[in-house]
């Protein structure tokens, strides 16, 4: 993902720069804990993440540092890829291995049966989220209510599954890869697969492989992040804003227009980009560096976010 034009080539002063880190979240850590660790390591003023991973899950956790946090919403909307395993013969209340066993069965599905039902989960579908999720119900997180055995219902949500493949299957468990939209709950997908097959099962392994352009192949561990910052190293898992937002069109401004846009002025734009990007977000570039995001309307450009360094 890193580009030649503006990649972060040295790790000095990372406490003040605006960038993204592709962290490989370890099993057992909450996303909030990873954010706290990165903030301590980098000494940055502000750190956030794009897309929560449960403690039981591992894999890609994009971390935004300083004003990169203002772009988190655009990354969270990106398509995601997961690998997960279903262990057969038990149903658990949380639909994962941390839950209580609420049902058992010796029945296990044949590989052909699994392959035959997978098309039911392709495309746009309605999914009821797990009750053991962070969705708020009357101001409280649903998992808190579920742990208190409170009665409540969650409404179905539309999600999109672009691809789902069976990797292996045996009498003990099966492995799957899925490419899906924001808002997809893998534990709920497990639940629905098991219900359609008429078997018991729970998620025993969950690893996120991709979030948009953030790929598991380019992740960095927390320990390695600490080492490269302590020793002023360089790493391909750290990306600047221009790299991460390369799906957006960009408009280059001279110093005079940059001064105006930074001070909230709307400026007229003459560019081939204008016709195709009305009301779309674009990157604002000055001296080959991203300075913010703007919106084009009626052949004018207005800033939405400015990324001044700290």
CA gap 59, 54 in Å, rounded: 11
- Tokens 């956030």 sit at which residue? 48
18-62, pLDDT tens digit by residue? 899 999 999 999 999 999 999 999 999 999 999 889 889 999 999
CA gap 193, 191 in Å, rounded: 6
Q: Are residues 205 and 84 in the same domain?
A: yes
Q: Is 298 within a domain?
A: yes
Domain enclosing residue 141, as ranges: 80-211
Other residues' Cβ atoms within 10 Å of the Cβ of residue 56 = 16
Q: Give the HSE-up count for residue 128: Cα atoms under 13 Å, Cβ half-sphere.
A: 9
Q: What is the pTM of this model?
A: 0.87
Q: Are residues 91 and 201 in the same domain?
A: yes
CA gap 53, 234 in Å, rounded: 26
Q: Write the CATH number for 282.
A: 2.30.130.10
Q: Are residues 183 and 35 in the same domain?
A: no
CA gap 186, 59 in Å, rounded: 14
Q: Please tell me the total count of domains within the chain.
A: 3
Q: Is 276 within a domain?
A: yes
Catalytic positions? 54
Q: Write the CATH number for 45.
A: 3.30.2350.10
> What is the residue-wise DSSP string for 189-240?
HHHHHHHHHT--EEEEEEEEEEETTEEGGG-B-HHHHHHHHHTT---TTEEE
Q: Is 294 within a domain?
A: yes
> What is the residue-wise DSSP string for 255-283?
HHHHHHHHTT--EE---TTTTT-BTSEEE
234-258, pLDDT tens digit by residue? 667 888 888 888 888 888 899 999 9
Q: Are residues 132 and 73 in the same domain?
A: no
Q: Are residues 223 and 117 in the same domain?
A: no
pLDDT value at residue 39:
94
Domain boundary among 243, 263, 287: 243
Does pLDDT of 277 surpass 70? no
Q: Are residues 70 and 103 in the same domain?
A: no
Q: Are residues 89 and 202 in the same domain?
A: yes
Q: Are residues 67 and 108 in the same domain?
A: no
């Amino acid at each position: 993902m890193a580009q030649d034009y503006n990649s972060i080539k040295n790790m000095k002063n990372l406490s003040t720069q605006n960038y993204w880190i592709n962290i490989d979240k370890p099993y057992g850590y909450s996303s909030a804990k990873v954010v706290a660790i990165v903030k301590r390591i980098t000494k940055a003023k502000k750190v956030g993440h794009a897309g929560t991973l449960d403690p039981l899950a591992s894999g890609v956790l994009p971390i935004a540092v300083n004003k990169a946090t203002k772009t988190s919403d655009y990354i969270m909307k990106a398509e995601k890829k997961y690998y997960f395993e279903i262990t057969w013969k038990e149903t658990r209340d949380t639909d994962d291995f941390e839950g209580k066993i609420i049902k058992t069965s010796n029945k296990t599905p044949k590989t052909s049966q699994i392959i035959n039902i997978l098309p039911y989960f392709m495309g746009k579908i309605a999914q009821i989220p797990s009750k053991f999720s962070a969705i708020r119900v009357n101001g409280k997180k649903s998992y808190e209510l579920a742990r208190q055995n409170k009665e409540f219902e969650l409404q179905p949500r539309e999600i999109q599954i672009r691809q789902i493949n069976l990797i292996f299957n045996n009498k003990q468990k099966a492995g799957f890869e899925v490419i899906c939209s924001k808002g997809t709950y893998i534990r709920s997908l497990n639940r629905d697969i098991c219900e359609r097959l008429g078997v018991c099962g729970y998620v025993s392994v969950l690893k996120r492989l991709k979030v948009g352009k953030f790929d598991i192949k380019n992740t960095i561990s927390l320990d390695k992040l600490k080492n490269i910052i302590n020793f002023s190293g360089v790493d391909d898992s750290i990306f600047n804003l221009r790299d991460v937002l390369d799906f957006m069109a960009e408009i280059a401004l001279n110093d005079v227009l940059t001064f105006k846009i930074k001070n909230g002025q709307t400026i007229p734009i003459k560019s081939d980009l204008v016709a195709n990007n009305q009301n779309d977000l674009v990157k604002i570039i000055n001296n080959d560096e991203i300075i913010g995001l703007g919106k084009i309307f009626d052949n004018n450009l207005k800033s939405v976010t400015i990324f001044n360094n700290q």
